[in-house]
Amino acid sequence: MNARKFFLGLLDTAVKVAFVIVVAMLISKYARIAYNYGYQIFSQSAVSSGTGRTVSFTVKSGDDVDTIADNLAGLGLITDKRLFKLQERFSEYHEKEKPGTYELSTAMTPEEMLMVMSGGQEAADGEDGDKDTGDESDGG
């Protein structure tokens, strides 16, 4: 009888230890995933390096960040729609996207795209020149 109690006690302890180890491993795994995702929100990277590929992108009146993220992902300008939505949420351009057609590049970070779509930047580093301020027309 004592051997049986000893064996059951040992088995009970082994199951509890295994459970604690599994829980600790899951916590470690998901903490690492959460950290990496959080890190990506604030350290944004472009889809491609160099000059990238320029794409005309249209924001229609009434488009929300979900629609914008879906369209950007469809054109290959971003890689993760959920990450873009979080980046927009925590940026200074939250809900400031304006309707219009913009020249965006795969070499732009999500924040740079948001800056262009909110009117905070005239074009991709002034390359396009479509949105002229009118200062140059008087130059004579």
Find the largest Cα–Cα distance for the chain: 107
φ/ψ bin of 86: left (φ > 0), alpha (ψ from -120 to 50), beta (otherwise): alpha
- Contact at 8 Å (CB) between 68 and 117? yes
- Contact at 8 Å (CB) between 113 and 77? yes
- Contact at 8 Å (CB) between 75 and 57? yes
Q: What is the pTM of this model?
A: 0.65
- Contact at 8 Å (CB) between 95 and 66? no
Residues 55-80 pLDDT 10s: 899 999 888 999 999 999 998 899 88
Distance between CA atoms of residues 134 and 50, nearest Å: 31
Per-residue pLDDT at 48? 81
Per-residue confidence band for 137, with pLDDT thresholds at 50, 70 and 90? very low
Residues 24-59 pLDDT 10s: 999 999 999 999 888 888 788 888 877 888 889 999
3-state secondary structure of 28: helix
**Assigned CATH topology for domain 54-126:** Dna Ligase; domain 1 (3.30.1490)
- Contact at 8 Å (CB) between 60 and 99? yes
